[in-house]
Every structure is written in structure tokens, then in C-alpha cells.
Amino acid sequence: MKKYNFFAGPAILPKSVIMKTAESITDFEGMGLSIMEISHRSKQFVGVMDKAISLAKELLNAPDNYEVLFLTGGASSQFYMTAMNLLGQNQKAAYINTGSWSTKAIKEAQHFGQVDEIASSKDQNFNYIPKDYNIDPEAKYLHYTSNNTIFGTQFQNAPETDIPLVADMSSDIFSRPIDVKRHVLIYAGAQKNMGPAGTTFVMVDKNALGKVNRHIPTMLDYHTHIAKGSMFNTPPVLPIYVSMLTMQWVKDHGGVTAMEKKNTEKSELLYSEIDRNGLFVGNVSAEDRSKMNVCFSLHNTELEKEFLAISKEAGCEGLPGHRSVGGFRASIYNAMDIEGVQVLVEVMKEFERTHG
């Protein structure tokens, strides 16, 4: 039976990327060796890394002063690395709190300077994106989480401000065009829209670095990885390879503009059904709904297990909501075709017929 992968992360990858990876696991580019057992300094892997970097810049239309890094440690490591590299001990940074991830980013940054939480949606269990706030013009940057995977909210546009932005785009990178030049740094764990777990994407304005005075361990200094093209130490070869294939797939399918169109269609189809179907209710303010993670509930929560069982019978995997929220979460990243959403919508309609 065909499976429809709604996991929030690690998450769905394009079928062609999976098949190509399986091939390269047994024999990479006719070398007679697995991609897992070749030197990262072989010309074959250097080619993979170069291509991954150039694809990322091309897809996001990045200006020349931006560098692309493929690191490890997840977005969780960027929570402190961004502040460690960009924020002086006597300087101030502004943060918008839209849930677990921003909360953690704030906690980690506080040790490296003054952190202003200028807005938060905690009062409504993070079911909206705060829009009213004042930013101290002295702030070095404004940090925001572009999409909240857990609660299903998304900034429809980057925050309006003249302050340079730092963005955690873990769950919506490459899902739509972005204005890179308004950002001093963008980071993303790979395992939602970019590739498998095991590498972390960083795009940074190189002119913004080197302005803090603290000691930074070599591996935590962005300069190190810029100077060595993400090869200061052995990089996570396979996660970077699969990310490169996925970015190539995005390019081959029309780039981030085409992805945005497809993601809009899929999310509109699903939100329409949530709004139409009397059994279900969306969790999030309509104007802040995520096109990546569609979070919804049953009015009658006693029916949850039955709905999950029926959707699983139809091939839908990974639908339970995050353990801190409950209900349902359909993650519909780039690689999810509209067919998967249609199957889920059919299950919802059928559930209405039998339980309405």
C-alpha cells in the first residue's frame, strides 16, 4: 500500500531522491564504493559539496556577500552559536517568541548579551504570530522563527523592521522565496524541507562576522567553516549528499516559486476541509496558518484514536500532533504531492459521513 508521509521531521523526501541515494549507497558514481566509505576530500565528494553550496545560493537568490555552510548540531546549536558570534556581551538583541523553538533560542542567547523578548504569543498557547512590538533601534538583530512546526503558525512575511534579521527557518526553508538581504543569518536543521537529519544549513552575511570580542572555540566560529568550505573537519557526508539531491529536485521542479505555489494549493485544500467539516477545527489564527504544518483537532476528542486508525488504513502516517499540543498535525512539506492531501481530505469527509 502506498504510504503518505505526514511526519513533522525527519520528514518526507522526494521518491527520486530516495532511489538515487539507495543507488549511491551501493555504488557512488561508478566508483565501486559506497558514498558512505569515500574520503570527504575525494574529488567526487568535493563536487557534491560545491554543488550543494551553489544550489542553495541559487535557489534563495543570495547576494554575493552571503556564505553557505553545512554544519551539524541542529538548529539547537544555532540558538547559542548565533548569539556567540553576533552579539557582544554589552549589546542587545530582540527576539519574537512564537513557541518552543524561540523560547529555547532566547534561553541560550541570554548568556551572550542582553536579550529583549519584544513580543510573545504564549498567552494563547502560541496559536498566533504577534504583530505589535517595538524594537530598540540599538538592537544588533531581530530573531524570529519563520515557521513553528509544533503549533502550526508561520510568518507570512519577514517582520517589518530596519534591524537586520536572524531567522530559524528549519521547517520552511526552500518552501518559498525569501528576501535574503534583510537577514544577517538564516539557519535550518535539514530534516524538514532540505534533507535527512544530520546536517544544519547556515547562510550568513560574511561582513557581519568578527565584531565580538569573546573567545569562540574553533568549531563554533563561523569563520572557521567559511575559510574551509565546511570541510574544516569531516562533514556529515551522506546528509549533505541527500540535501544536495533534494535541492536539485527543488530546482528541477521550478525552484522555490513553484514550491510556494504547490504548498499554497495543498494547504488551502486542507484548511478548506478543516473549516467546512463540522467535526474538525483548526488550532491557529486563520491569518497565521502554516503552509508546512497544518494543526487541527476534533471537537469530540474522544474520536481521535478512531480517526487516526482510519487515516492509517488509508496510508497516512505521522498524523498525531506534537506531544505538547495533541490533536493532529499534517506536515505537508515540498515533497508531499497534492495526492497525499487529497487522500487525507477524503478520509476526513468519510469520517464526517460516518460520525457527523
48 lines the binding site for a copy of itself (CB under 8 A)? no
CA angle 174, 178, 254 (to 5 degrees): 50
**Which helix or strand (DSSP H or E) is residue 222 part of?**
helix 222-227
Q: Are 206 and 226 in contact (CB under 8 A)?
A: yes
318 and 325 Cβ atoms separated by less than 8 Å: no
User: Is 123 among the catalytic positions?
Assistant: no
C-alpha dihedral (220, 221, 226, 229), degrees to nearest 10: -30
Residue 99 vs 198, nearer CB to a copy of itself: 198
- Nearest residue (CB) to a copy of itself, 20 versus 355: 20
39 touches a copy of itself (CB under 8 A): yes
User: Applying CB under 8 A, does 107 fall inside the site for a copy of itself?
Assistant: yes
Place of cell 528576501: 179
The answer to whether the CB of 40 falls within 8 A of the CB of 237 is: yes
Q: How far is the CB of 67 from a copy of itself (least distance, A)?
A: 19
13, 237 in Cβ contact below 8 A?
Answer: no
Choose one: 57-65, 135-143, 281-289, 313-321; the region binding a copy of itself (CB under 8 A): 313-321
Number of residues that bind a copy of itself (CB under 8 A): 63
According to CB under 8 A, which one of 44, 51, 57, 72 is a site residue for a copy of itself?
A: 72
* CB of residue 5 to a copy of itself, shortest distance in Å: 6
Q: Is 185 helix (H, G, I), strand (E, B) or coil?
A: strand
191 forms part of the interface with a copy of itself (CB under 8 A):
yes
Judged by beta carbon, residue 9 or residue 327, the one nearer a copy of itself is 9
- The label of the residue with cell 533560542 reads 105
Nearer to a copy of itself, 74 or 130 (CB): 74
Residue 59 C-beta: closest distance to a copy of itself, Å: 20
Are 292 and 149 in contact by the 8 Å Cβ rule? The answer is yes
Q: Which of residues 162-181 bind a copy of itself (CB under 8 A)?
A: none
Q: Is 168 tagged catalytic?
A: yes
Q: Which of 16, 51, 57, 77 binds a copy of itself (CB under 8 A)?
A: 77
Joined together, the cell numbers standing for residue 219 give 568549531
356, burial (CB in 10 Å: exposed 0-12, middle 13-18, buried 19+): exposed
State yes or no: residue 88 binds a copy of itself (CB under 8 A). Answer: no
Q: 3, 51, 107, 168: which one is catalytic? A: 168
Task: Name the nearest CA neighbour of 93 among 109, 69, 107, 77.
Answer: 109
| Active-site hit among 140, 192, 262, 266 | 192
Establish if 99 lies at the interface with a copy of itself (CB under 8 A).
no
**233-262: which residues touch a copy of itself (CB under 8 A)?**
233-239, 242
The pairs formed by 299-305 with CB atoms below 8 angstroms and a separation of 24 or more are 301/326, 301/327, 303/279, 303/351, 303/355, 304/328
Task: Please measure the distance between the N-terminal and C-terminal CA atoms of the chain and give it in whole angstroms.
Answer: 28
| Piece of the chain touching a copy of itself by CB under 8 A; list 48-56, 86-94, 106-114, 124-132 | 106-114
153 binds a copy of itself (CB under 8 A): no
Q: What part of residues 15-34 is at the interface with a copy of itself (CB under 8 A)?
A: 18-19, 21-22, 25-26, 31-34
DSSP one-letter code for 289? B
Question: Which residues carry out catalysis?
Answer: 101, 168, 192
Interface residues with a copy of itself (CB under 8 A) are 1-3, 5, 7-13, 18-19, 21-22, 25-26, 31-34, 36-40, 42, 72-77, 79-80, 84, 104, 107-108, 111, 189, 191, 196-199, 215, 217-220, 232-239, 242, 315, 317-318
